[in-house]
């Protein structure tokens, strides 16, 4: 193998640049040429390629977002689009690809392998932490810390005004962010897709907290934890109990910002491991870290198997909210 490509796809995540940097520098250290694909799968279809050397990725470790840009490509969802992408890769002499992204990125890579026999390995770049085969995904730790900083600030206001705040964090299908920031931020209620709660149940916890002498409450809501999100939950709680709450939706602020040390180290390790995997002949696998060891998981398993939240942490959150 002499030439490989690297690209980012789907939603951006802090630490993607650290992964790109690791792919480039580890690749060059092994005598490989590394090509960057700009704009995800759409850039692959358009042939938007750029050579990357060690100096091209200098001073990127601390930057959020992705220097290679990202996009969601409808064209790549078609056989014709994938054929065009494969043709551009082959014409450029690319013998292996590192895909950095989430479920959709892995699914696209699996189709590229099946239809055009191009070796692809993946690194888990998504703040949701919902990919099977790795304890943590690139960007998750930063997103948690970003959300926690906001919750700490909101708690100051909640305590000053004796109010209830409903704070919505990202997580349409998985509650990992909500659980972590809920524990770290001392939330009275954590609402997760994995364990839905009714408005009446939520109101009961808030009323119980007030009865114990609490003057304010924080309710952390994963965006997929309640139909309609935090806004709908706050409205339903008020209608069922008369409790008025303020709503804050953190939204895409969780995706940006400089990655934490943990995300930089994880991304660097997984990026380098992707190069090693390609050079050893691996393809169709996601590179993850489980119990501090590198693990290779087939794309199908990484996509289809569900990674559950830590139930012991969830019980701990309830105990600590007393």
Please report which confidence band the pLDDT of residue 72 belongs to, taking 50, 70 and 90 as the band edges.
Answer: confident
Question: What CATH number matches the domain at 3-139+259-304, 3.40.50.450, 3.40.50.300, 3.30.460.80, 1.20.120.350?
Answer: 3.40.50.450
Strand order of the β-sheet with 49-52 is 49-52, 33-37, 3-8, 96-101, 120-124, 285-290, 293-298
Question: Which residues, 6+ apart, have CB-to-CB distance to 93 below 8 Å?
Answer: 2, 3
Supply the pLDDT for residue 241. Answer: 94
Supply the pLDDT for residue 71. Answer: 87
pTM flag (> 0.85): yes
- pLDDT, one tens digit per residue, over 235-281 is 999 999 999 999 999 999 999 999 999 999 999 999 999 999 999 99
Q: Alpha-carbon distance 238 to 97, whole Å?
A: 52
Q: Delimit the CATH 3.40.50.450 region(s) of the chain.
A: 3-139+259-304
- The residues with which 7 forms a beta bridge, in sequence order, are 99
Q: Delimit the CATH 3.40.50.460 region(s) of the chain.
A: 141-255
Supply the pLDDT for residue 249. Answer: 97
**Plot region of 181 (φ>0 → left; ψ -120 to 50 → alpha; else → beta):** alpha
Under 8 Å between Cβ of 161 and 52: no
Supply the pLDDT for residue 205. Answer: 95
- pLDDT, one tens digit per residue, over 8-39 is 999 999 999 999 999 999 999 999 999 999 99
Tell me what percent of the residues of the chain surpass a pLDDT of 70: 100
Closest CA to 95 of 172, 27, 155: 27
Task: Spot the catalytic one: 26, 128, 130, 263.
Answer: 128
Identify whether 128 is a catalytic site residue: yes
Supply the pLDDT for residue 321. Answer: 87
Query: Does the domain at residues 141-255 carry the CATH identifier 3.40.50.460?
Result: yes
Under 8 Å between Cβ of 23 and 271: yes
290 pLDDT exceeds 90?
yes
Please report which confidence band the pLDDT of residue 123 belongs to, taking 50, 70 and 90 as the band edges.
Answer: very high
Please report which confidence band the pLDDT of residue 140 belongs to, taking 50, 70 and 90 as the band edges.
Answer: very high
- The residues with which 287 forms a beta bridge, in sequence order, are 296
């Amino acid at each position: 193998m002499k030439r490989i490509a690297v690209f980012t796809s789907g939603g951006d995540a802090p630490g993607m640049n650290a992964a790109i940097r690791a792919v480039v520098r580890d690749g060059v250290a092994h005598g490989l040429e590394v090509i960057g694909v700009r704009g995800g799968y759409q850039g692959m279809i358009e042939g938007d390629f750029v050579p990357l050397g060690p100096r091209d990725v200098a001073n990127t470790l601390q930057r959020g977002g992705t220097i290679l840009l990202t996009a969601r490509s409808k064209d790549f969802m078609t056989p014709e689009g994938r054929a065009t992408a494969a043709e551009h890769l082959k014409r450029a002499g690319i013998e292996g690809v590192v895909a950095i992204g989430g479920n959709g990125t892995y699914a696209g890579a699996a189709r590229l392998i099946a239809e055009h026999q191009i070796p692809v390995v993946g690194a888990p770049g998504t703040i949701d932490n919902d990919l099977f085969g790795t304890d943590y995904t690139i960007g998750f730790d930063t997103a948690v810390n970003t959300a926690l900083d906001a919750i700490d600030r909101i708690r100051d206001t909640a305590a000053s005004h004796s109010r209830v705040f409903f704070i919505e964090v990202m997580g349409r299908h998985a509650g990992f962010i909500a659980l972590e920031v809920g524990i770290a931020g001392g939330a009275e209620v954590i609402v997760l897709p994995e364990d839905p709660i009714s408005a009446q149940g939520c109101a009961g916890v808030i009323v119980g907290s007030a009865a114990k002498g609490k003057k304010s409450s924080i309710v952390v809501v994963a965006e997929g934890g309640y139909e309609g999100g935090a806004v709908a939950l706050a409205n339903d709680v008020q209608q069922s109990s008369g409790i008025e709450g303020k709503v804050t939706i953190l939204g895409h602020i969780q995706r940006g910002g400089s990655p934490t040390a943990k995300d930089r180290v994880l991304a660097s390790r997984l990026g380098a491991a992707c190069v090693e995997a390609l050079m050893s002949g691996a393809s169709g696998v996601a590179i993850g870290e489980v119990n501090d060891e590198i693990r290779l998981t087939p794309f199908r398993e990484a996509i289809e198997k569900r990674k559950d939240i830590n139930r012991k942490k969830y019980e701990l959150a309830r105990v600590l909210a007393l």
